[in-house]
Chains A and B, each alone.
Chain A
């Protein structure tokens, strides 16, 4: 009974906040609603006995990805009028994509029936004597190890690509080189100048003024 209450709580909140992601006028509010949606999705994962996925969803999406979203949205000065201008023009494309997704959902429920109550799917996913973290690890590192490695390679290439695209060495910027500073000793940091006696005169500008001269 409690599971059902929590299921309806999480799913209602997820749908409501997902709607507000689109409806919110302020983009920062939209991102905050997106975070709430992630949270509720994580709650649904917990109800499906997939607590590992739930925690990963929070760590990866809420803890990292959404922070970057927030950064970008806060730093950019979004022009609302310009943003709304293309709405009518792009509406047919949006309606088409939405229609396809809706048709898929309807087809899915027509095929499987509406018998997807909470807790029914979970039984297949978790072997009885393992926690789902162990179960996931055992299948990911044995049966799907090549796919896992390929995904890792793709991410690595993407990461290096992002670094290559953004890294540029600007000229004329003072940088700190820690190793250079540490390597500096009396031999390299100091110069002893031999001043010949009598051959040195104080330049007239640097000579301190006497009180009489000032007056």
Chain B
């Protein structure tokens, strides 16, 4: 990554502004995609409950997210008198910034132009893990700075939950890294070009991807991702029947918007990570004529949206967990399972002579 800086200084201002333009383009498209994903989330939820969902603003309610944005921005921010004002305002900013920062290393495609990623650093996966573990700070800081009981309870719950599930996410990532042999995110996708399917003599297809080779870990990662991003059925942080809105009780207006934005960006990041680590990133499902004509970015987006659809469906029909059950699942089920899988994966790779 230091090389990255050196390259920048050698090439001068041109590369600097180029990276800036790239980042801006990525963030802009990401935020627009998230605006529509938010609408999709609500539409899916509504469809499961046989409602129409948002359908007033724009055709089919397509502009609903933008209307919500304007509503939040034009509201007056209310800062409680007893709050720690600096930390109170810093917390939502931190949440949104950390969530967006993880997109610096997520590659969305690779073709003859090169890798479509802002920074192709060689510890990309560790960077993602580090940034996702920082998401908890926005929540603790917000809960504490509000100087009120419900936000504080919500923040404590959330912090414990996120720290617990990070452990199993880390171990799942180790399983994937053992199969890849590199910490580079692009290498993770490229390692899925050959696998079980090509081993059996088939053309490269979706059988090569890690979801099949590491099947239980795919499920563990998906559920841990739900818990890590505080999505239902693990939304105990803002279990409205007990904690009103959890750590966000005292927030309104733009700070609240930043929290929601950070939350949804984190969810989309988790969808992208699932796609990259288990669903072959931008690789086509079968490497034959009509499929590999399609640009890789399309496959990446399609897979990410599919994972997001699964997130939305889980929200729609799984009832909320109780807190002790959540902790039991994290520490007594997922942790031993993923630990055993790490040992198993390492043994198979070592003794089967498959280690990269």
Give the contacting residue for B5; candidates A6, A56, A59, A74; CB below 8 A.
A6
CA distance A26 to B84 in the complex (A): 10
Contact in complex: A28, B2 (CB < 8 Å): no
| Shortest distance from the beta carbon of A22 to any chain B beta carbon, whole Å | 19
Counting CB contacts under 8 A, is A52 at the interface?
A: yes
B133 touches A64 (CB 8 A): yes
For the complex, give the distance between the alpha carbons of A48 and B5 in Å.
Answer: 12
Q: Which of A1-19 contact B (CB under 8 A)?
A: 1-3, 6
On whether the beta carbons of B129 and A59 are closer than 8 Å, the reply is yes
The answer to whether A32 and B6 touch across the interface, beta carbons within 8 angstroms, is no
Assess the B140–A3 pair: CB atoms within 8 A. no
Q: Chain A residue with minimal CB distance to B6?
A: A3
Contact A67 B140 (CB under 8 A): yes
Cβ contacts A58-69/B at 8 Å (1 or 0 each): 110011100100
Closest to B141 in A: A32
CA distance A28 to B133 in the complex (A): 19
Known contacts: A6-B5, A51-B121, A74-B140. The answer to whether A63 contacts B133 by CB under 8 A is yes
Residues of chain B contacted by A71 (CB below 8 angstroms): 140, 156, 159
Which residue of chain B has its CB nearest to the CB of A1?
B9
- Cβ-defined partner of A63 (8 Å) among B130, B140, B144: B130
State the CA gap A73–B86 with chains docked (Å). Answer: 18
Kindly state the separation between the CA atoms of A48 and B3 in the bound complex, as whole angstroms. Answer: 10
Supposing A67-B163, A71-B159, A133-B183 touch, asked if A51 and B1 sit within 8 A by C-beta, the answer is: yes
Among the listed A2, A59, A122, A176, which residue makes an inter-chain contact with B130, where contact means beta carbons less than 8 Å apart?
A59
Interface centre among A2, A55, A62, A131 (most CB of B within 10 A): A55
Q: Given the known A-B contacts A2-B5, A6-B5, A58-B130, are A35 and B123 also in contact in the complex, defined by CB atoms under 8 Å?
A: no
B5 touches A3 (CB 8 A): yes
Q: Is B222 positioned at the interface, with any CB of A under 8 Å from its CB?
A: no
Asked, given contacts A3-B2, A71-B156, A71-B159, whether A51 binds B166 with beta carbons under 8 Å apart, the answer is no
Q: Is B115 an interface residue, CB under 8 A from the partner? A: no
Q: Which of B8, B140, B141, B183 contacts A2 (CB 8 A)?
A: B8
Contact residues in A for B127 (Cβ distance below 8 Å)? 55
Q: Who on chain B is nearest to A62 by CB?
A: B134
What B residues does A133 contact at CB under 8 A? 122-123, 183
Question: Quick one: which of B105-154 are within 8 Å of A by CB?
Answer: 121-123, 126-127, 129-130, 133-134, 136-137, 140-141, 144, 152
Cα-based distance from A28 to B123 in the complex (angstroms)? 31
A150-179 to B contact mask, C-beta < 8 Å, 1/0: 000000000000000000000000001010
| Min CB gap B309→A, angstroms | 30
CA of A58 to CA of B123, assembled, Å: 13
Taking the closest CB of chain B, its distance from the CB of A35, in whole angstroms, is: 7
Across the interface, name the chain A residue whose C-beta is closest to B135: A63
Cα-based distance from A32 to B123 in the complex (angstroms):
26
| In the bound complex, CA of A52 to CA of B121 (Å) | 11
* A24 → chain B closest CB, angstroms: 11
A41 to chain B, nearest CB (A): 13
The B178-196 residues at the A interface (CB cut-off 8 A) are 183
Chain A residues within 8 Å of B156, by CB: 71
Would B133 and A59 count as touching, CB distance under 8 A?
Answer: yes
Which of B2, B5, B127, B183 has the most CB atoms of chain A within a 10 A radius of its CB?
B2
A176 to B321, CA, bound (A): 14
A67 and B6 alpha carbons, distance in the complex (Å)? 34
Check if B9 sits within 8 Å of A3, measured CB to CB. yes
Question: How many whole Å from B165's CB to the nearest CB in chain A?
Answer: 12
Interface residues of A (CB under 8 A from B): 1-3, 6, 26, 28-29, 32, 35, 46-49, 51-52, 55-56, 58-59, 62-64, 67, 70-71, 74, 122, 131, 133, 176, 178
Interface residues of B (CB under 8 A from A): 1-3, 5-6, 8-9, 84, 87, 121-123, 126-127, 129-130, 133-134, 136-137, 140-141, 144, 152, 156, 159, 163, 166, 183, 324-325, 328
Closest 9 CB pairs of A and B: A63-B133, A2-B9, A55-B126, A58-B130, A131-B122, A59-B130, A49-B2, A51-B1, A51-B123
Not counting A26-B84, A59-B126, a sample of 7 additional A-B residue pairs whose C-beta atoms are within 8 angstroms of each other reads A35-B137, A46-B1, A49-B3, A51-B123, A55-B126, A62-B133, A176-B325
